[in-house]
Every structure is written in structure tokens, then in C-alpha cells.
Amino acid sequence: MSDEKNLSDDLNDMLGDAKDGAKKAADKAGEIAGEAADKAKALAGEAKASASEFANSAKDTFTADENKKLIAGLLGIFLGGFGIHKFVLGYNKEGIILLVATFLTCGFASIIGLIEGIIYITKTDEEFYNTYQVGKKPWF
């Protein structure tokens, strides 16, 4: 009987050690999870600030009355058939006309956008601004 009692005591000791080990592991995992949560909150705050900064910068870029020569020129060259460069400059009616013309001519009218994009880029900044943004010249 004493062997059984010793065996029972040994098993109880082992079970107690296992419980202690599991408790320590759970405590350590909780500690690591808490640190990870704190880091995640900090990173989320940084990401939110960065996104807000980017949004404000984009808003300033697309709403400012500054010279839009480069963006209009590149859009005219690469996406001219869709009239996007016209929309950027505020010529909505002309943009729709160019878009419809491109579809009706199976893409042939997109040459207009390419030509306009090249014209936009080859003008000086001041000349472009005065002609297309202040003077509101819609075509070529």
C-alpha cells in the first residue's frame, strides 16, 4: 500500500507541477498578448495620423487653384480618349463630349487627348495657367 501511496503522491506532485507550469505559461502568454495589444494600438494611431495627413495632402493637391499642367498633360497623353484631363481642368462638358466621341469613333477620337496632352506639357507653366485655367480655353 505504501507503494501505491508513493505513486499517488508522485502523480499528485507531477500534476501540481504541470498546473504550475501551465499557469506560468498562461501568465506569460497574457503578458505577451498585452504588449502586442499596446503595440497594435500605437501602430493604429500612427497609421490613422499618416492616413489623415495623406488625405489632407491629396485634398490640397486636387482642390488648389495651382497649375495643373503636369497632371492634365500626362492624363491627356495616357487616358486622353476618356477626357479625364478635361475633367481635371474643370471642363466637364468637353470631357463628356470627348468621351462620347471616343466611343462613337471606336477610339479614334482619343488622338485629340494625346495631342492636347502634348500641347499642355510643351507650354510653359505660366502660359498653360493663363490659357487653360484662367482663360478657360476648352479645346487645343
Task: Give me the percent of the chain exceeding a pLDDT of 90.
Answer: 36
Residues 89 and 39 in one domain: no
Predicted local distance difference test score (pLDDT) of residue 112: 93
**What is the share, in percent, of the chain residues with pLDDT greater than 70?**
89
The average pLDDT across 80-95 equals 91
Tell whether 111 and 75 lie within a shared domain.
Answer: yes
Is 139 within a domain? no
Domain count within the chain: 2
Cell 510643351 appears where? 122
pLDDT in tens, 125-139: 889 888 888 888 877
How far, in Å, CA of 50 to CA of 139, rounded? 39
Structural domain including 36 reads 1-64
Model confidence at 100: pLDDT above 90:
yes
Are residues 1 and 60 part of one domain?
A: yes
Q: Measure Cα distances from 68 to 85, 117, 132, 138 in Å.
A: 10, 12, 9, 14
Of the three residues 34, 64, 94, the one that is the final residue of a domain is 64
| Residues 73 and 60 placed together within one structural domain of the fold | no
**Rounded to the nearest 5°, which phi and psi values hold at 83?**
70, 15
Position 29 scores a pLDDT of 86
